Amino acid sequence: MLYKFRLRLGAKQVGKFAFKSSFEQCALPDGTQLTLVARNADSLEHATAFHLDCGGFATESWAKSAGEALRTKLRLVNAILGVGLSIPVGDTPSGGVSTQVKQEVLARNAGIVIDSVWGLQTFPDDGNHFEYVMGGNLNVQPSEPGYIFSALKAIWGASVKLDTSSEEALQILVLAGLETSDKAAFLTTYLALEQLINRTKRSTLARELIERFGKDLERASSRKRSPITLAEAQSLRGALNALQEESFSSAFSRLGHSLANPTHIQGIAVKRFISVCISARNNIAHQAEPKSIYPLNQLTAGLRELALGLIWTRNALPTLSFSTPASAISASPGSVKLRAL
């Protein structure tokens, strides 16, 4: 039995692959044949969900290894060319059909239904295994397109002057809104908050200890026998200087303990929300998947709310009321389809 791998990827805008066909093949230099398939549209140029298939592997582990190699190389190409694709680092079940449906399909000799995975999965390359995918072109737009003008009218009479930190944070928030990856949007929004939350000096005792470490470092770098290299000494000096202030995570947590209003962010108690965000940020920084019951886009929305609230408070901006209308979702007849891929 031969095996194949399937790697799913996505994009927030159409047109990332401007092919008019529903699939496109690519032969790599070593003979590997990739097939790029549109998952939620009739053509690649109109799709925002895709997968790459490759088969003919003698073992499942071989297929898995080849899929992982493709994922790594595709992430590099995505970054170098600035394509704007969302390529998952981990693999998460994202959908499927009931056992009853699978049994009925199998009983009709129509094939074997597999569950969908956001990321990489392997299965037999026998032409009988497939997944059901619901997709199509939905039109999503504000139900009241004039809401931006309404917001401008509300803020027009206010005196708005922002301090330097707020200006920087606002610019970073704008960039975060353009990110196509949930992780990148979360980290960028987190960075905006770093501009707004002041870090305090460590205690006198702590700073005295850091100063003592600095003197030990100077002695170690100037001794004749086995001195610390210049590069390493400079690196350690920088690390010791950074210790003069509390870490951002400590400052962020301290903010959570001091806030009386709001009490909840995105429906999550403030202290817990901040703790979850810090944990998610640390996991991403250490190349691990964020472990939280709250999706990253919810945490990003909460961080954005908090950052804007701090900007409002820091600059004593007047209380204003803005409203974002509900989205209107429409689909032309026959545009949403159930596909067997």
* Total of domains in the chain: 3
Which residue is listed with tokens 């066909």? 21
pLDDT at 166 (0 to 100): 87
Shared domain check, 188 and 57: no
Domain boundary among 184, 218, 242: 242
Give long-range contacts, CB 8 A cutoff, 24+ apart: 92-96: 92/117, 92/118, 92/119, 93/117, 93/118, 94/8, 94/118, 96/131
pLDDT of 62 strictly over 90: yes
Mean pLDDT value across the chain:
81
Looking at the structure, do residues 36 and 77 belong to the same domain, yes or no? yes
Task: Note whether 161 and 294 are same-domain residues.
Answer: yes
Hunting for tokens 């545009």 — which residue is that?
335
Contact between 183 and 284 under an 8 Å Cβ cutoff? The reply is yes
Q: Are residues 148 and 260 in the same domain?
A: yes
> Quick one: how far is CA 41 from the chain centroid?
24
pLDDT band at 136 (very low <50, low <70, confident <90, very high): low
In this structure, the answer to whether residues 284 and 314 fall within a common structural domain is yes
Domain assignment of residue 236, given as a range: 204-242
- pLDDT range class, residue 19, cuts 50, 70, 90: confident
pLDDT in tens, 269-278: 989 999 999 9
Distance (Å, whole) CA 93 – CA 81 = 29
CB atoms within 10 A of CB 155: 12
Reported as a pLDDT band with limits 50, 70 and 90, residue 39 is confident
Q: Which residue has the higher pLDDT, 124 or 95?
A: 124
Residue in 161, 167, 133 with CA at minimum distance from that of residue 307? 167
Residue 9 CA to residue 88 CA, distance in Å, equals 7
Note whether 165 and 313 are same-domain residues. yes
Whole-model pTM above 0.85?
A: no
Tell whether 179 and 284 lie within a shared domain: yes
Judgement on whether residues 183 and 295 belong to the same structural domain of the protein: yes
| One domain for residues 182 and 253 | yes
The structure tokens listed for 199 are 């870090």
pLDDT tens by residue, 294-331? 888 899 989 988 988 888 888 888 877 766 676 666 55
Give tens-digit pLDDT for 194-252.
998 888 787 888 777 888 887 778 887 888 888 888 888 888 888 887 777 778 888 88
Mean pLDDT in residue range 277-284? 87
Same-domain check for residues 31 and 134: yes
Residue 158 has what pLDDT? 75
Average pLDDT over residues 253-282: 89
Q: Which of 50-59, 83-92, 103-112, 219-228 has the lowest mean pLDDT?
A: 103-112
Lowest mean pLDDT among 16-20, 56-60, 89-93, 268-272: 89-93
| Mean predicted confidence (pLDDT) in 26-40 | 86
- For 7-31, give one letter per residue: b (16+ CB within 10 A) or e: bbbbbeebebbeeeebeeeeeeeee
Last residue of a domain, one of 190, 219, 242: 242
208 and 251: one domain? no
pLDDT band, very low/low/confident/very high, at 59 (cuts 50, 70, 90): very high
- Domain co-membership, 17 together with 148: no
The pLDDT of residue 288: 66
